[in-house]
């Protein structure tokens, strides 16, 4: 999967890894970085569906919570094929 990630998706993963991102708890979670809505929610949804990011805590649907990388998300960032 990581070889198919574009620069924007990798930037989102780096923001999550740095603790700068939040997700809504939902089937298609929205992402915000530094308190601002992400400009590409379709990519945020794809990252969640691919199992690369997830909410850190379980909260009510639609509530914002900190985002975290999954093990696969960390692997995607560590993949030399994704290095810029």
Instruction: Look up the pTM and report it.
Output: 0.88
Number of separate domains in the chain: 1
pLDDT at 1: 47
- Owning domain of residue 65: 2-82
For 5-63, the pLDDT digits (tens) are 999 999 999 999 999 999 999 889 999 999 999 999 999 999 999 999 999 998 999 89
Residue 33's domain is classified under what CATH number?
A: 1.10.10
Using H for helix, E for strand and C for coil, what is the string for the chain?
A: CHHHCCHHHHHHHHHHHCCCEEEECCCCCCEEECCEECCCHHHHHHHHHCCCEEECCCCCCCCEEEEEECHHHHHHHHCHHHCC
């Amino acid at each position: 999967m990581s070889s198919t990630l574009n620069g924007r998706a990798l930037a989102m993963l780096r923001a999550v890894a740095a603790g700068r991102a939040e997700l809504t708890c939902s089937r298609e979670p929205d992402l915000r970085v530094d308190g601002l809505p992400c400009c590409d929610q379709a990519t945020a949804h794809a990252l969640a569906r691919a199992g690369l990011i997830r909410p850190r805590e379980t909260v009510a649907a639609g509530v914002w919570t900190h985002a975290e990388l999954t093990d696969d998300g960390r692997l995607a960032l560590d993949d030399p094929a994704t290095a810029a």
